[in-house]
Amino acid sequence: MKDIRILFLAPNWRVSLLRSFKKSAAKKIFLVGADSDADSAALKVVDKSYVIPEFSEPKCIEKIQAICDTENINTILPITNKAIEFLDKNRTEFDEGDLLFYLADHKLVQTTSDKRRLAEFLKHNNFSSPDLVDPKKLFPGFPLFAKEACGEGGKNCFKIEDQAELDFYLKKFPNHIFQRFFQGREFSIDWFSDKMGLPIVVVPRERLVVRAGEVMVSRIKLVSSIIKSTQRLGEQLQLRGPANLQGFLEESGEFFFTDVNLRFGSGVLHTIHAGANIPKMMIQELEGKSIETKTDFVMDGSTMSRFHDAIFDS
């Protein structure tokens, strides 16, 4: 059988993720990377790399189409939210075969890419989520948490302690959303469902150390209440393929969702290493095979400590 040829769109620094794909199916997969950053570390570990224009530039579509044709790409995997939004906006340009095999439908992309819309969706469908606060109206009090409505990676997120700080951030970031600040344990949940939406992987990871929005130390905790509520939300959203959900577990045992990302989370390597071989599952599905699973395949309680590494050109 021919190799499955995957185009990773905007992989940038996700070297470990790409290596996990190569390790999982070395003889069946050909990795192509396309990024606007010529110095992207991920471009140094793929089988073929391309530098593309910024997503905002008109020639970007044409360049990616040419890559798909030249490399006989089977499917495109967007690695960032911006890559997802780019493919969603231009999906008719790539509507051929299985190129957009795991791309969510337009409505879901719109709902999850805007945290204000997501919060409203969660409330409307009876999922626990931090209440949105209108700082111009009466609200319960401080502290609050402010973040970009359409941001990622923890950029421009702030804890607000008092009215003076609120006034400052309102002026500096008028489009931010504001929510009640949570003191609970922070979790990321790695998700993978097949093309029919059947959940295969639902693995909560407690984020023990976070730096600049990226998890540095995590522990897998298979909390049944988190798993059940995540399965219900994933089915309600009709998630397909990889995703990452985030939220906080309060002492009461109630889990509050804050984010839904239609892509791999930054710490998904932990879940893969602990037994949920998502890259292998994706290759099986792209080959038209049934996904091989087994009961209790993830090591509960395992920990991960991440560190920075370097790639040097000779």
Instruction: Read off the pLDDT of residues 217-262 as tens digits, 9 standing for 90 and up.
Output: 999 999 999 999 999 999 999 999 999 999 999 999 999 999 999 9
pLDDT computed for residue 248 by the predictor = 96
Read off the CATH number of the domain in which 54 is found.
Answer: 3.40.50.20
Shared domain for 162 and 188, answered yes or no, is no
Residue 217 lies in a domain: yes
Position 225 in a domain: yes
Indicate whether 66 belongs to any domain.
Answer: yes
Examine the domain organization and report whether 152 and 220 are in the same domain: no
Residue that finishes a domain, picked among 163, 180, 197: 180
pLDDT, position 26: 64
Same domain, yes or no, for 175 and 196? no
Residue 250 covered by a domain: yes
Cα distances from 311 to residues 15, 134, 214, 216, in angstroms, run 10, 46, 20, 19
Question: How do 185-193 and 199-211 pair as beta strands?
Answer: antiparallel
262 with 199, same domain: the answer is yes
**pLDDT for the residue 1:** 53
One domain, residues 187 and 231: yes
Domain end point (choices 123, 148, 180):
180
Is position 158 within any domain? yes
User: Residue 180's pLDDT is what?
Assistant: 87
Q: In the prediction, which pLDDT does 212 show?
A: 81
Are residue 145 and residue 62 in the same domain, yes or no? Answer: no
Q: Identify whether the C-beta of residue 223 lies closer than 8 Å to the C-beta of residue 244.
A: no
* 87 within some domain: yes
Tell me which residue range forms the domain holding 64: 4-102
Residue 23, phi then psi, degrees to nearest 5? -70, -35
Report if residue 123 sits inside a domain: no
Measure the CA–CA gap between 306 and 289, rounded to whole angstroms.
Answer: 33
pLDDT of residue 140: 84
Number of domains the chain contains:
3
Its pTM surpasses 0.85:
yes
Residues of the chain under the 70 pLDDT cut:
1, 26, 294-295
CATH code of the domain covering residue 258? 3.30.470.20
Q: Do 162 and 78 share a structural domain?
A: no
The radius of gyration of the chain's CA atoms, rounded to the nearest angstrom, is: 20
**Cis before 140? omega within 30:** no
Same-domain status, 68 and 95: yes
Q: Are residues 188 and 301 in the same domain?
A: yes
pLDDT of residue 182: 81
Whether residues 270 and 196 share a domain: the answer is yes
Chosen domain end from 180, 197, 214: 180
Residues 150 and 209 in one domain: no
* Claim to verify: residue 297 and residue 188 sit in the same structural domain: yes
Q: Is residue 227 a part of any domain in this protein?
A: yes
- Give dist(CA 296, CA 276) in Å, integer: 10
